[in-house]
Amino acid sequence: MDIRKKSDSDLKKLLSELQEELREFRFGMSGGQKKNIRRARGIKSDIARIKTILAEAVTK
């Protein structure tokens, strides 16, 4: 996914979707339903990447 080419509104939408996915993942972990812990790490890094790009856009 090439997120640098997306618009700010698309990035914000994707950010909210990833945050919701991470929240659901955490609930699944606490219930013992989820086994792939690496997915949480990937979601967190995607969230951080999007936040960084949005911050760069503000400072330009």
Q: Residue ranges per domain, the chain?
A: 7-59
- Give me the CATH code for the 7-59 domain, please: 1.10.287
How many Cβ atoms are within 10 Å of 56's Cβ, its own excluded?
Answer: 10
Q: Considering the chain, what percentage of its residues have pLDDT values greater than 70?
A: 97
d(CA 29, CA 13): 24
Q: Which two tokens stand for residue 50?
A: 């999007």
How confident is the prediction for the chain on average, in pLDDT?
Answer: 90
What's the full length of the chain, in residues? 60
Of 32 and 55, the structure prediction assigns the larger pLDDT to 55
CB 1 within 8 A of CB 19: no
Q: What is the pLDDT of residue 57?
A: 85
Residue 1 pLDDT greater than 70, yes or no: no
Tell me the per-residue pLDDT of 38-52, one tens digit each, with 9 for 90 and over: 888 999 999 999 999
Q: What is the pTM of this model?
A: 0.85
